[in-house]
Amino acid sequence: MKLMRVGFVGCGAITAQWHLPSIRGTPGVEFTAVSDLDLEHARTMARKFGVAHAYRDHRDMLGKVDCVVRAAPTATHAGIAGEFLSQGVHVLCEKPVATSRAELDRMLASARSGARLMGAHCMRFMPNMAMLRRVVARGWLGPVPSITGG
């Protein structure tokens, strides 16, 4: 089985507390690289989670990863995700994925060679959310015009 080489752009709290620990034991995944504007912090994260390479510039990962997890400030999502998508690299982007519809359209237009863009809306995969979806779909609650959550 070919390993999926994964890189992380941005080594803030969400990456350190959730992404790196949760993906660590995933079969078929190889942590290839992390990048952060604070290179020393990137190196610390790389050592802590057994990632082979740490970079200051995310572009140093191009050609070395099959997928990146984007967890940096929202204003940078469109530009960085577009760079990876245009090179055929899949992107999982923390929410909000973009600051405008125009940015999202640019990101999607950048995708080539089957590269995929996905928003990290992890709550939708939780068992209780799947159960709620089934309950609503089966009409057990009657008409449900909207659902909000905090």
| Full-model pTM | 0.77
- What pLDDT, on the 0 to 100 scale, is given for residue 34? 94
- What pLDDT, on the 0 to 100 scale, is given for residue 124? 66
Contact 34, 45 (CB under 8 A): yes
Going residue by residue through the chain (150 aa), what tens digit of pLDDT does each one get? Answer: 788 999 989 888 777 777 777 777 788 988 899 999 999 999 999 999 888 899 999 999 999 999 998 887 777 778 899 999 999 999 988 888 888 899 889 888 888 778 998 887 766 667 887 888 899 899 999 998 887 765
Burial class from Cβ neighbours inside 10 Å (0-12, 13-18, 19+) for residue 140 reads: exposed
Q: Tell me the CA distances in angstroms from 70 to 1, 8, 17, one per residue in order.
A: 25, 6, 14
